[in-house]
Structure 1
Amino acid sequence: MFFTTLTEDEFAQFTQENFSHYTQSARHYQYRNVHQQDVHLVGVKDDDGKVIAACLLSEARCLRFFKYFYTHRGPVMDYSNLRLVKYFFASLTRYLKKQRCIYVLVDPYLLASLRETDGEIIESYDNQRFIKELAKLGYIHQGYSIGYSQMSQIRWLSVLDLKDKSETQLLNEMDYQTRRNIKKTYEMGVQVRTLSIDETPTFFELFRMAEEKHGFKFRELDYFKQMQKTYGNRAFLKIAYVDLYTYLKALNEKHTELVLELNKLNAKLQESPNSKKTKSKINQLKQQVDSNTRKINETKELMQSEGDVLNLASALYLYNEHEVYYLSSGSNPKYNRFMGAYRLQWEMIKFAKKKNIDRYNFYGITGDFTDDAEDFGVQKFKEGFNAHVEEYIGDFIKPIHPLLYKLYQFTEKSRKH
């Protein structure tokens, strides 16, 4: 086998055929290569010239004249093949030395454990031989982190397995309340559409509301435009909304039906005044009429104060051959009763099924499974869809030039203080 740079086509074919993260994609490479010119495609081929490992690497300026590199959930390879692992990472070190690299950050898309939503381990994966092999080559494991970090990709993911499951089965396996909330979105006329890139500010307004609610500042508007440009038609913004005019029309039609049914039952009661069954049905119908009338009045008030269309929730989605990813999102808390976020998820789960994609990735959680976790509500929301938890191995750092790396660490500490 031999280490080599890869063509775009070689890289694209390998990452499409082998399980890989969306950042390890030809689309990502194409955009960055044109606009930032900071990407490399490297890999290993066997003696017959067949690609057996591939990795997109990006570079960034470090200590003015030098660089650091990042592997973007790569490389894509069979991590159980320790001979291949040893060869790839030893070769990568040699390659990076020629690139004026001070250090490289590696974060393999490699499972450490599968867990229940409460954190209980379903299955552990023994990665110690892999970690030791990398340690011999100077790649230092950064530990098993919990929580969110601006410096690295999230280590804990919430994932729903779609393989060999029908839409009905997926719904039935959800929590009762989640299933009920999805059903209610249909009754309330919630709809979903794709936003154009020019409508990104509409998404961003809802995203800002989520930031304010959770007390964090994460991304700016341009980031979400760039994600759509980078991944093309594989990345899009979806919005859940209610057209109140249409909803009011449906409520009025329902009111007419309920009143008609009530009149029929009242006529029936006159014929049989002692019928308990009819009386019970009349009472139930009166409750439905009252409830529907209340909704009609609330909807009219909303139309007067908010206009005809309510934007409920919006999210950035991305997909490849292996997964649909639910990334950043936001919602208007004033309209929580319309359950927009639930409808968004269900529409995208159905989208994944239509595309024959077996994994729906709800993406990051903290890995803190206590009731005090900062993302406790988010975890419960994802748990309701019957998602399980995947823990990944985490980061490795390899100082390519140890003395310069120490200098870099010193300057970073000084800058922060």
Structure 2
Amino acid sequence: MTYTYKVGISKEEHDNFAKASDQTNLLQSSDWAQVKDNWGNERLGFYKDGQLIASASVLIKALPLGMTMLYIPRGPIMDYSKAEDVAFVISSLKKFGKTKRALFIKFDPALLLKQYHIGEETEEITETLAKLKNLEENGAEWTGRTMEIAQSIQPRFQANVYTQADMTATFPKHTKRLMKDANTRGVVTSRGNLSDVQAFADVVALTESRKGVALRNHDYFKKMMEIYGDDAYLHLAKVNLSKRLEEYKEQLAQIEKDLSETEEHQKKRLTKLTQQKNSVSKYITEFEEFVEKYPDELIIAGILSVRFGNVMEMLYAGMNDEFKKFYPQYSLYPKVFEDAFNDDIIWANMGGVEGTLDDGLTKFKSNFNPMIEEYIGEFNIPVNKVLYKLSTWAYDMRKKLRSNH
């Protein structure tokens, strides 16, 4: 049995291996390195008797004094149950790390420790615990069962929606009600293209301002759309306020006509029509105020997602808070899931949540009945034994300071 590894395997060889595995993840797509162009990148292939058994797209961060840190997001992709393979991959990564003057290599494989719906109790997956043992016995240092998003580069907990033909059937009642409210207010969701990137960047900027966070800008979103092409999904929620206002006025005129033609003894009908009149009149007042400010159709929310193989990551979202009562997210998210299902995508990851599941992100994402997926977490492979402890301490301190900022 002969093991070998190669630096610089082709994009095709790496991506085909990643897509054929049960660990397919966008962050291990070869194009992700183009998105993260402030890092260097190499693709490594690991072979047993000439057959590719593992692959890793490695990001390389330059550090002072010519040193580096290596990071393999959601990788390497391999069968972690095979101890000999794990031993070879880790020893080979160390050798590669030395050629890059790496202090350490950080990786967070796509191995699930738990899967459950919110409120369910479940045990840790025994096969994953066995894979954890293989990693630790071969020199990978586990950072443990971290609970906070800020404690790791990639969230250890994520809310993931597995697609199916009638997604809305799985949603809670209040979600269906809010979907209906969005439709009543005239929210329409569709896929956008490069010409819509600026409008999307604008709503993301509004979200940044409201939440006090820094996300990304127009150039970044444009680059991502160009890199991934048809695999980039830009979903936009729009409203045409002037058009919707005219429709409400037509509805009101019809209701008033129906009321005038209704006899006094038709009490149930009169009550129903009166309620409809009050509701539509309320909408008219609300929309007249909006139309003065926004006479043309406008984008009020959006989501940028990217597929890789048969899976999808929902990466960035934004909303104009003036329209929060239009509930555009309840038009957007179901549309993303529907389009994903139609394109043979098996799951759409809504992103990370806190491990306590009591944060605002979890509360919002629970509206779409996601599967909570708990990954095994991060590992470090020491490369420079002299500086390793000091460098990981400095890395952890920097991360802590950034999360407290």
Which category of TM-score, normalised to the shorter sequence, fits these structures?
Answer: 0.7 to 0.9
Give 2:10's aligned residue: 7
* 8 A contact 1:46–1:52 mirrored in 2: yes
The structure with the largest alpha-carbon Rg is: 1
1:277-305: CA deviation from partner (whole Å, max 9, x where unpaired)? x2111111121022112212321221113
Distance 1:142 1:15 in 2: 25
Aligned pair partner of 1:28 in 27, 32, 35 = 32
Shift in Å at residue 221 of structure 1? Answer: 4.9
Give 1:38's aligned residue: 40
Give the secondary-structure state (helix, strand or coil) at the position aligned to 1:80: coil
* 8 A contact 2:113–2:129 mirrored in 1: no
Shift in Å at residue 7 of structure 1? Answer: 2.1
Counterpart AA for 1:9: E
1:172-211: CA deviation from partner (whole Å, max 9, x where unpaired)? 2211010111122222221224444464343233223333
Q: Compared with structure 1, are the counterparts of its residues 410 and 77 closer, same or farther at alpha carbon in structure 2 (3 Å cutoff)?
A: closer
* 8 A contact 2:241–2:294 mirrored in 1: no
Counterpart AA for 2:129: Q
Distance 1:95 1:292 in 2: 67
Distance 1:9 1:218 in 2: 31
Give 1:252's aligned residue: 249
* 8 A contact 1:155–1:391 mirrored in 2: yes
TM-score, length basis structure 2: 0.88
Unaligned 5+ residue runs, structure 1?
none
Q: Compared with structure 1, are the counterparts of its residues 82 and 414 closer, same or farther at alpha carbon in structure 2 (3 Å cutoff)?
A: closer
Distance 1:414 1:111 in 2: 27
Shift in Å at residue 394 of structure 1? Answer: 0.6
* 8 A contact 1:113–1:121 mirrored in 2: no
Counterpart AA for 2:386: L
Give 1:302's aligned residue: 290
Counterpart AA for 2:241: L
Map residues 54-73 of structure 1 onto 2, 5 A cutoff: 54-73=55-74
Give the secondary-structure state (helix, strand or coil) at the position aligned to 1:384: helix
Matched, 1:398 2:381: yes
Q: Compared with structure 1, are the counterparts of its residues 300 and 410 closer, same or farther at alpha carbon in structure 2 (3 Å cutoff)?
A: closer
TM-score, length basis structure 1: 0.86
Moved more, 197-206 or 80-89: 197-206
Give 1:125's aligned residue: 125
Map residues 1-400 of structure 1 onto 2, 5 A cutoff: 2-5=3-6, 6-19=9-22, 20-29=24-33, 31=34, 38-47=40-49, 49-118=50-119, 120-126=120-126, 127-149=128-150, 152-162=153-163, 165-167=164-166, 170-197=167-194, 199-264=196-261, 266=262, 269=263, 274=265, 278-370=266-358, 375-376=359-360, 378-400=361-383
* 8 A contact 1:62–1:102 mirrored in 2: no
Distance 2:238 2:344 in 1: 27
Give the secondary-structure state (helix, strand or coil) at the position aligned to 1:149: helix
Distance 2:329 2:393 in 1: 45
* 8 A contact 2:188–2:237 mirrored in 1: yes
Shift in Å at residue 310 of structure 1? Answer: 4.2
* 8 A contact 1:323–1:357 mirrored in 2: yes
Shift in Å at residue 339 of structure 1? Answer: 0.8
Distance 2:380 2:202 in 1: 37
Distance 1:83 1:259 in 2: 79
Q: Compared with structure 1, are the counterparts of its residues 173 and 90 closer, same or farther at alpha carbon in structure 2 (3 Å cutoff)?
A: same
* 8 A contact 2:235–2:336 mirrored in 1: no
Counterpart AA for 2:110: Y
Distance 2:322 2:69 in 1: 45
Q: Compared with structure 1, are the counterparts of its residues 60 and 46 closer, same or farther at alpha carbon in structure 2 (3 Å cutoff)?
A: same
Q: Compared with structure 1, are the counterparts of its residues 254 and 3 closer, same or farther at alpha carbon in structure 2 (3 Å cutoff)?
A: farther
Shift in Å at residue 55 of structure 1? Answer: 1.2
* 8 A contact 1:157–1:363 mirrored in 2: yes
1:131-189: CA deviation from partner (whole Å, max 9, x where unpaired)? 23222332111111122228511111001122xx322xx21221101011112222222
Give the secondary-structure state (helix, strand or coil) at the position aligned to 1:94: helix
Distance 2:346 2:394 in 1: 45
Distance 1:32 1:389 in 2: 27
Q: Compared with structure 1, are the counterparts of its residues 159 and 413 closer, same or farther at alpha carbon in structure 2 (3 Å cutoff)?
A: closer
Give the secondary-structure state (helix, strand or coil) at the position aligned to 1:159: strand
Shift in Å at residue 365 of structure 1? Answer: 0.6
Give the share of equivalent positions with the same residue, in percent: 25
Q: Compared with structure 1, are the counterparts of its residues 413 and 304 closer, same or farther at alpha carbon in structure 2 (3 Å cutoff)?
A: closer
Moved more, 188-197 or 394-403: 188-197
Shift in Å at residue 98 of structure 1? Answer: 2.7
Give the secondary-structure state (helix, strand or coil) at the position aligned to 2:122: strand
* 8 A contact 1:242–1:311 mirrored in 2: yes
* 8 A contact 1:28–1:231 mirrored in 2: no
1:210-251: CA deviation from partner (whole Å, max 9, x where unpaired)? 334334334455443443344333224332121112212322
